[in-house]
Amino acid sequence: MDEVDTNPGLIFDKIDAWLDGLFKLLPNIAVAIVVLVIFWLIAKGVSSLVRRYASKRDRPSLADVGGSLVKWAIVIIGVMLAVTIVAPTISPGDLIAGLGVSSVAIGFAFKDILQNMLAGILILLRQPFEIGDQIVSGGHEGTVERIETRATLIKTYDGRRVVIPNADIYTDSVVVNTAFETRRSEYDIGIGCNDDWDT
């Protein structure tokens, strides 16, 4: 039976090579960190601008969602750029191709979540109803409390909260009771045979 040749010198040589590589990458890592910080600050600034613009238009839900989406999109671009700085052999095209393949897998795994998020963005952009409106959707009726990317929260008239997925609201019919200033109401009133009809 052959004995395994253990040479501690080889281990130290390998560690030394790793440390040399790390020290050579230190300037790139420092630049990548600076780029990340710059992109983070840009993302916060653009996000606050989007929130302010949407708030001026009296659309607080769109301000929150739009600001968050813009911020994370800019941060992801910064991370991709930082990765290409640390590892110059990786090109932005390789990262985009990798994101394309992984996004397909993520899309299948989180189909319902992404569907609700897209429906929530479309609801916030088209604004068929606003916070405070009274709506009827999926057999639930109440006042809209909040419109999020995943779901719309309504408060029923008996004091309960109902969370309705945005995909259901976007694909099904929704009755907005407070869309107009005036609304006609119909009531059935029973009149007895012996009652005075004129009265």
pLDDT digits (tens, 9 = 90+) for 19-69: 666 667 777 888 888 989 999 999 889 888 888 887 777 777 777 777 888
88: in domain: yes
Rg (CA), the chain: 29
User: 165 in a domain, yes or no?
Assistant: yes
Angle between helices 60-86 and 8-56 (to 10 degrees): 150
Task: Name the DSSP class of 145.
Answer: E
Q: What is the pLDDT of residue 98?
A: 63
pTM (2 decimals)? Answer: 0.57
Model confidence pLDDT, tens digit, residues 82-114: 888 877 777 666 666 666 656 666 666 667 777
Angle at 66 between CA 145 and CA 55, to 5 degrees: 65
Encode pLDDT of 153-185 as tens digits: 999 999 999 999 999 998 888 999 988 888 888
The pLDDT value given to residue 190: 81
| Residue 183 resides in a domain | no
Does one domain contain both 99 and 42? yes
Within a domain: residue 60?
yes
Cα 87 to Cα 20, 82, 102, 162: the distances in Å are 15, 9, 20, 48
Q: pLDDT at position 176, please? A: 92
Q: Are residues 97 and 162 in the same domain?
A: no
**How far is it, in rounded angstroms, from Cα 76 to Cα 39?**
9
